[in-house]
Amino acid sequence: MTLIVQKFGGTSVGTLERIEAVAEKLVASRRKGQDLVVVVSAMSGETNRLLALAHEIDPQPNPRELDVLLSTGEQVTIALLSIAIEQRGIPARSYTGAQVHIRTDSAYNKARIQEVDAKRIRDDLSHGRIVVVAGFQGVDEKGNITTLGRGGSDTTAVALTAALGADECQIYTDVDGVYTTDPRVVPEARRLDHLTYEEMLELASLGAKVLQIRSVEFASKYQVPLRVLSSFESGEGTLITAEVEGMEEPLISGIAFNRDEAKLTILGVPDKPGVAYHILGPISDANIGVDMIIQNVGRDGTTDFTFTVHRNDYRKALEILREASRNLGAREVRGDDKIAKISVVGVGMRSHAGIASTMFHTLAQEGINIQMISTSEIKISVVVDEKYLELGVRALHSAFELEKTPGRIPSSL
């Protein structure tokens, strides 16, 4: 019998009507002979409501108690869904993360899964039950409730798939798969049938919000087949697996973008060993993540150093950089929080040299200046002025003909 782990997000279980619709879908699958383990999020808006309650009492609530509070959202959903399934004549059993021993570390609000004990779930499956598990949560070695951070239910589902040796992990969302880019920006964007873990990791890290990054990392590590599907319409969705024969042909799979970028530059830094550490060390100490980094060739004993951060961290990073500038004797600090990043992604790029030139030529034709460039084996990212973001994405999507077939370099370029 096929064993499937299915995850339904907050939108999919946002009302009683939607919970009952999910129950109908599960019961139909069970009657066709599938064994099912279901992971659910809190009903849409519930986590934010609970956060707001905590912050009304204390702007910085105790992290342990916050996890105890936030974990209750999923507990409501698992009980309601189990009741709906049983009302339709199929036995079901609901569990919190702690009850099925999803063991995590003790990093409250952003815990990582270390171990899953699937014995209790296997026993229920052997008795014909649909098992419904609360996503987003676990328990540390001392028995404290922990949560996995935003999107953590995806990671719960992947971890259970790996622990159970299930055939597939299906992530049900409000979209019917992963697209070549955001259809709200490019209406001609095409749903992708198949992606590699590498491609999905890049797309997720570069701004595509269909899957939590950690869930894709987990799936890649344990070779869990992932499928993104819509809760509201039928279809095959997008399957995410390791690279397989026949998948090397497409050059470009998709175009990702991120509006939440800011750029900082320190000019005239003494060009000597240890400078990069003295610039980025204080940034790291402030728990600010750095993305793209460029250091220019030194001249006259000095160099310029540029990097990007999340826009929410811009003001804090700028203050830290000004302090570092004074300590280093740099000439000037500049900042720009009106930039955006555009990236082309595809495993086929490994063996093809023409992607970058096509990308740069296309942007130049549109009069879009490239401020920074970053590359890897399967992606090229550029930083541009924020006002050119949508124009750049549309132009690149058209240039690589992503609306027609897997992305190729047009012969005219």
10 labeled binding residue: yes
DSSP E strand boundaries for 142-276: 145-147, 168-173, 194-196, 226-230, 238-241, 254-270
Cβ partners under 8 Å of residue 251, min gap 6: 346, 348, 349, 352, 355, 400, 406, 407, 408, 409
338 labeled binding residue: no
Q: Are 368 and 389 in contact (CB under 8 A)?
A: no
72 labeled binding residue: no
209 labeled binding residue: yes
Spatial strand order of the sheet with 194-196 comes to 92-95, 130-134, 35-40, 3-8, 168-173, 226-230, 238-241, 194-196
Q: Are 386 and 338 in contact (CB under 8 A)?
A: yes
Task: From 318, 336, 310, select the one nearest 206 (Cα to Cα).
Answer: 310
7 labeled binding residue: yes
341 labeled binding residue: no
74 labeled binding residue: yes
313 labeled binding residue: no
End-to-end CA distance of the chain: 51
Q: Are 128 and 166 in contact (CB under 8 A)?
A: no
257 labeled binding residue: no
Strands 92-95 and 226-230: unpaired
15 labeled binding residue: no
Burial of 329 (0-12, 13-18, 19+ CB in 10 A): exposed
Q: Summarize the annotated binding site for ATP as residue ranges.
A: 7-10, 173-174, 179, 184, 209-210
Q: Summarize the annotated binding site for substrate as residue ranges.
A: 47, 74
Q: Summarize the annotated binding site as residue ranges.
A: 7-10, 47, 74, 173-174, 179, 184, 209-210
